[in-house]
Amino acid sequence: MVLAPLQTSPETLETLVTGVNLLWVLVVTFLIFFMHAGFAMLEAGQVRSKNVANQLTKNLLTWSVGVSVFFVIGAGISSLVGGGGFSPAFVAENPNDWVGWLFGAVFAMTAATIVSGAVAGRAKLRAYITYTFLLAAVIYPVVTGITWAGSYISFGGATFHDFAGGMIVHGMGGIAGLTAAYVLGPRMGRYNEDGSANVIPGHSLTFAVLGTLILAFGWYGFNVGTAASVFVFTDGSLQLGAFSYVGRVAMTTTIAMAAGAIGAAAVAWAKTGKVDTLYVANGLLAGLVGITAIPDTTSWWGAFLVGGLAGAQLPLVFNFIEKRLKIDDVCAVFPVHGSAGVLGTLMFPFVAAEAPAGGIVNAFIAQVIGVVAIAAWTIVATAAVWGILKAIGQARVTPEHEQEGLDVSEHGVETYPEFGSGDSVVADGGMVSENVRTDGGSKDD
């Protein structure tokens, strides 16, 4: 699409294009940053009340530590792996280059914060922060280095395609979370001696749903914002840049989100005869994750298919992880981010509105290579870090501290101090008040 020529100098037009594009990137960057509020509420709602402050602290420090490390080290490692030499963000000659760094940083911090939900309730704060440091410094930058920065993954004329991080950010984060949860082991009381699982419900469904909707809102920055160039100035004409297909990105993101919630609700209903609210919320997020790698190329019907399948797989994969693998993934980060991200990335050539470069078969093989490479690196690096921390006794809190709750043992605070005493032991070894109802009232009221 070409707009009518403007009667102004080329220099003025270039300045206008630069300013509009910078403003757009900054706005969507701030929108993605706000997703951390969503992660905080979603995770806080899915953990026990005795661990809420710990989960919130992890979210705050994920951003604070991670973004600092990504500025000093991580961005340079990504550039180095991508073939551009070690060029950390702090050496930028043009101050406006830091807009691009910040845009990349909010993606990196999304990958980092996903892990906190998988290891909730038993990981030491120092262990989690150590992993966040290494993820922001090396683990995630290597992934972006071989993909977005370097574009090394290709096959038969087809290049690995991940538009906004369905695999690079979410798939990587979900796989990292599952690996860390496996190394740590389940929470106390999660499994019985015969291997059967106990359900340890989160303390606030309201917070979880609020977090879900905040994340969905921020996701428009994540996906639509990746269409980062509003205008380009070419051959004396002002033209649309990535905004030439921004409508498709917005449409597929929305449709997949809706289909994900419907898919999860349908499978939950088929399995139990009831529609589980948390499955619906997480299914909505899984639909978003599923489309994130491919919103720029997917047809409208493909968005329904990808989103619906991403939501439908959620209860099935969560059940498999819980019952078969015996991994305690507290906030279901793998079925929401990991398997949904893999699924959407692999479906790229089959739901594209136009035939992909290299043909469907070669494009699918390129996607498989990318998924395997990212997954393998993430598993090895994450297992090494958490394995070393576990070997030196620094990965997990003591049983006494886990029973007491991480809010008190790690932070010296109680999230809900007004709940009072009258405690009794529950499945995970923690304490709940016998005299307090879930609505905050007392049985004597």
Residue 237, pLDDT > 80, answer: yes
390-408 average pLDDT score: 97
Q: Which residues contact 86 (CB under 8 A, 6 or more apart)?
A: 76, 77, 79, 80
Where does the pLDDT of residue 7 fall: very low under 50, low under 70, confident under 90, or very high at 90 and above? low
Q: Give the pLDDT confidence score for residue 10 in this predicted structure.
A: 81
Number of domains the chain is built from = 1
Give, as one character, the DSSP assignment of residue 190.
Answer: S
> Taking the complete model, does pTM exceed 0.75, yes or no?
yes
CB 296 within 8 A of CB 249: yes
Query: What is the rounded distance in angstroms from the CA atom of residue 84 to the CA atom of residue 126?
Result: 33
- Asked whether residue 136 is assigned to any structural domain, the reply reads yes
Nearest C-alpha neighbor of 258 from the set 294, 296, 208, 305: 305
- Asked whether residue 3 is assigned to any structural domain, the reply reads no
Q: Look at residue 433 and give its three-state secondary structure.
A: strand
Which pLDDT tens digit goes with each residue over 324-338?
Answer: 999 999 999 999 999
Residue 440, pLDDT > 60, answer: no
- Asked whether residue 153 is assigned to any structural domain, the reply reads yes
Query: What is the rounded distance in angstroms from the CA atom of residue 252 to the CA atom of residue 295?
Result: 6
Residue 241, pLDDT > 60, answer: yes
Range of the domain at 32: 10-244+358-406
- Asked whether residue 60 is assigned to any structural domain, the reply reads yes
Q: Do you know the residue count of the chain?
A: 445
CB 246 within 8 A of CB 225: no
Nearest C-alpha neighbor of 58 from the set 139, 137, 103, 123: 123
CB 244 within 8 A of CB 23: no
CA dist 131 → 123, 137, 288, 309, 388 (Å): 11, 10, 26, 32, 11
Which pLDDT tens digit goes with each residue over 285-320?
Answer: 999 999 999 999 999 999 999 999 999 999 999 999
Q: Give the pLDDT confidence score for residue 3 in this predicted structure.
A: 55
13-38 average pLDDT score: 95
- Asked whether residue 299 is assigned to any structural domain, the reply reads no
Nearest C-alpha neighbor of 221 from the set 327, 102, 123: 102
- Asked whether residue 323 is assigned to any structural domain, the reply reads no
Where does the pLDDT of residue 41 fall: very low under 50, low under 70, confident under 90, or very high at 90 and above? very high
Query: CB neighbours (10 Å) of residue 203?
Result: 20
Query: What is the rounded distance in angstroms from the CA atom of residue 339 to the CA atom of residue 292?
Result: 13
CA dist 128 → 173, 279, 330 (Å): 14, 26, 15
H/E segment holding residue 155 = strand 154-155
Q: Which residues contact 392 (CB under 8 A, 6 or more apart)?
A: none
Q: Give the pLDDT confidence score for residue 442 in this predicted structure.
A: 45
Phi-psi label, residue 273: left if phi above 0, alpha if psi -120 to 50, beta otherwise: left
Where does the pLDDT of residue 234 fall: very low under 50, low under 70, confident under 90, or very high at 90 and above? confident
Nearest C-alpha neighbor of 360 from the set 144, 161, 153: 161
Residue 16, pLDDT > 80, answer: yes
Query: What is the rounded distance in angstroms from the CA atom of residue 212 to the CA atom of residue 159?
Result: 32
Residue 424, pLDDT > 60, answer: no
Query: What is the rounded distance in angstroms from the CA atom of residue 169 to the CA atom of residue 226?
Result: 13
- Asked whether residue 320 is assigned to any structural domain, the reply reads no
Where does the pLDDT of residue 206 fall: very low under 50, low under 70, confident under 90, or very high at 90 and above? very high
- Asked whether residue 45 is assigned to any structural domain, the reply reads yes
Give the domain CATH number at 213. 1.10.3430.10
- Counting Cα atoms < 13 Å in the Cβ hemisphere of 378 gives 30
∠ CA 334-340-342, nearest 5°, is 95
What is the chain's mean pLDDT, rounded?
Answer: 93
Q: Are strands 237-240 and 231-234 parallel, antiparallel or unpaired?
A: antiparallel
**Residue 146: φ, ψ to 5°:** -85, -10
Q: Which amino acid is at 334?
A: F
